Amino acid sequence: MTTPAVQRALDAAFRQEWGRVVATLIRRTGDWDLAEDCAQEAFTEALRRWPVDGVPQRPGAWLTTVAGNRAIDRLRRAARAAQLLDQAGHDPIGAGIDSEDPMEDLFAPTTEIEDDRLRLMFTCCHPALPLEGRVALTLRSLAGLSTAEIARAFLVPEATMAKRLTRTKAKIAAAGIPYRVPPAHLLPERTAGVLAVLYLMFNEGHSASSGTELIRAGLCDEAIRLGRALQQMLPGEPEVMAALALMLLHHSRRHARVGGDGELITLEEQDRGRWDKVKIHEGLRLLESALRRRQVGPYQLQAAIAACHARAGSAVDTDWREIAGLYALLEGQLPSPVVRLNRAVAVAMAGDIDAGLAIVDELSGDARLERYYLLEATRADLLRRRGDQAAAAAAYERALSRAPSEVERRYLLSRLQEVGTGSPASAIVITPIEADVSEHLPADP
């Protein structure tokens, strides 16, 4: 019988070791499917054996050994089948195996300093892979999510997700994408690519792009976990620390972001007592050590903005001038209309509503924001603050027609009602940080 203690050990081992087992098997066999299958079998075996034999002292080593033995068995069988077919005069199948027994030293102990998961992470996030495939494969092979789970998280049929995973793995093999940590001259660029994938994963969980569920916290947790692993493997990289800090600071607000009826609660109206202090503390600490390295990057600036909110005891205490300045710096590094829109909000909140509206007006001609509901929602909010209720109502209507999910629609409707009845609306603002969540990614063709 599985006792709660054994169950906890199994759960922990799965979370901590899945990626490592898969990563090691891929390095040693070069076969992604084999690696996943054998890792799965090792965990099944653990489920059977650990309740009887007890939890091994080093669960990770135990799992890697069991998975490795399974892989050897399978490769031996394939080699034997190939040999038999060969003798029968057929073309050999199960190619890639030498006639000598290659399995002897396949799993001989090695002194690997480098964590195999780092290789796996860089390979899954290779820029020559389709972006959706990078995210899916990272979740499958590193986080151990099943195809069905990933499909649910991205609201696509399981068969579609299975195809996406197969196609991504096929490209790695066919196009010769190396299984390695990139050399020094490629490392900064490729690390940024890994962070982009983790942040996309986080945002997919943080702000559902469609449907009624605003928070798919599981994806956020996975992204943070992988971010932590990356930070441990590449210690001292300020952008890695900052990306993790940014995710933690956003995630600290998850319980305060959505009301009892699933409605969106803006940053300004959130009950700050419900923010997760532990996450905030960890995020702030990481950000501080990142900033000490004095190599400013986009994740550090975004985390610094999130930190301004996290430090403010109440909405009115927010240092909007500081935030506006940080957005100006961020715009210098990531020239993007969404970053500029956020700057408009910060400028307005710092006291100059007209200047904020002027930036919004400038952005109206930008084709990239044509379908972006937050442009009109921001305009509406600033107009309302200026007391121009009729113009605000019209802008809310335009924003409504572009809102991506039910949660945002409900939020906008309630605002529209307030300006319609002239009721004294509580102070609101389109939360500037959350507005730019999907922005910091390489352009997806």
Residues that bind another protein (CB under 8 A): 126-131, 133, 167, 170-171, 174-178, 182, 186, 442-443, 445
Query: What letter would DSSP give residue 264?
Result: B
Q: Which is nearer to another protein, 5 or 175 (CB)?
A: 175
CB of 167 to another protein, least distance (A): 6
Residues 91, 82: Cα–Cα separation, whole Å: 8
Q: Which is nearer to another protein, 72 or 129 (CB)?
A: 129
Q: Which is nearer to another protein, 84 or 175 (CB)?
A: 175
Using alpha carbons, select from 120, 64, 74, 125 the residue that is nearest to residue 96.
Answer: 74
CB of 171 to another protein, least distance (A): 6
Q: Which is nearer to another protein, 263 or 331 (CB)?
A: 331
Q: Which is nearer to another protein, 167 or 398 (CB)?
A: 167
Say which residue the tokens 């809310």 belong to. 396
Residues 107, 104: Cα–Cα separation, whole Å: 7
Residues 80, 101: Cα–Cα separation, whole Å: 10
CB of 177 to another protein, least distance (A): 5
Q: Which is nearer to another protein, 200 or 383 (CB)?
A: 200
Q: Which two tokens mark 225?
A: 């976990």
Sequence-distant (6+) residues with CB within 8 A of 358 are none
Q: Which two tokens mark 136?
A: 């899916």
CB of 118 to another protein, least distance (A): 16
CB of 130 to another protein, least distance (A): 4
Sequence-distant (6+) residues with CB within 8 A of 215 are 205, 206, 208, 254, 257, 258
Residues 335, 347: Cα–Cα separation, whole Å: 17
Q: Which is nearer to another protein, 182 or 227 (CB)?
A: 182
CB of 180 to another protein, least distance (A): 8
Q: What DSSP string runs through 73-129?
A: HHHHHHHHHHHHHHHTTSPP-S-S--SS-TTTTTT------S-HHHHHHHHHT-TTS
Using alpha carbons, select from 187, 223, 249, 206 the residue that is nearest to residue 435.
Answer: 206
Sequence-distant (6+) residues with CB within 8 A of 70 are 37, 38, 41, 42
CB of 186 to another protein, least distance (A): 7
Is residue 328 within 8 Å of 343, Cβ to Cβ? yes
Residues 277, 191: Cα–Cα separation, whole Å: 29
Q: Which is nearer to another protein, 126 or 379 (CB)?
A: 126
CB of 183 to another protein, least distance (A): 8
CB of 115 to another protein, least distance (A): 20
Q: Which is nearer to another protein, 133 or 227 (CB)?
A: 133
* Residue environment code for 403-428, b if the CB has 16+ CB neighbours within 10 A, otherwise e: bbbbbbbbbbeebbebbeeeeebeeb
CB of 437 to another protein, least distance (A): 22
Q: Which is nearer to another protein, 27 or 415 (CB)?
A: 27
Residues 250, 432: Cα–Cα separation, whole Å: 12
